[in-house]
Chains A and B, each alone.
Chain A
Amino acid sequence: DAGVIQSPRHEVTEMGQEVTLRCKPISGHDYLFWYRQTMMRGLELLIYFNNNVPIDDSGMPEDRFSAKMPNASFSTLKIQPSEPRDSAVYFCASSLGPQGTDTQYFGPGTRLTVL
């Protein structure tokens, strides 16, 4: 298996622009997670899905952030409008079982810079 795939790997945009991050989980994994990592706040869970359904989005910082999972092999995280404080590395991860009991496999991440 190719592992979790994320695109783009790097994104530089200007404040106010819309940003869409993409993720393809490992085939057969029922859980998909979106994380954000910064030096100041560490690794934070934003939202996770089980069988394409959002289960917990309490980590989503504000209404500018939205995530979808239209099918088992694809998810997006959208920021609209983007702000400089959104600059971070965004990781997607997937697992066979719930986060509390099963290993998560992380994608390579998308490094987002908002100018």
Chain B
Amino acid sequence: GAVVSQHPSWVICKSGTSVKIECRSLDFQATTMFWYRQFPKQSLMLMATSNEGSKATYEQGVEKDKFLINHASLTLSTLTVTSAHPEDSSFYICSARVWSSYNEQFFGPGTRLTVL
């Protein structure tokens, strides 16, 4: 149980284009999903918290107009990197929370974005 999928697993795009990443909870409903960014040899940095049916909550320093998040259903959240630039190249990972008294999160396999 608690399987999270992410698509695509990798993407290469030209500078200035937009890229959409999907995160799905396959066998449970996730009212909350999280989006992280991980640079090489670094920890996971929370970008935003995505709640189904409401606006995402962005962490300080993360541009909400650049990283568009949509959580339209209990099993799907999307992250769109708009007008991507080389500095946006990173490993993007989503996670979904299994609701309980505590904050168990299960991660997707990640999407490696390379912007040329």
Partners in one complex: no
- Taking Cβ atoms with an 8 Å cutoff, the residues of B that contact A are none
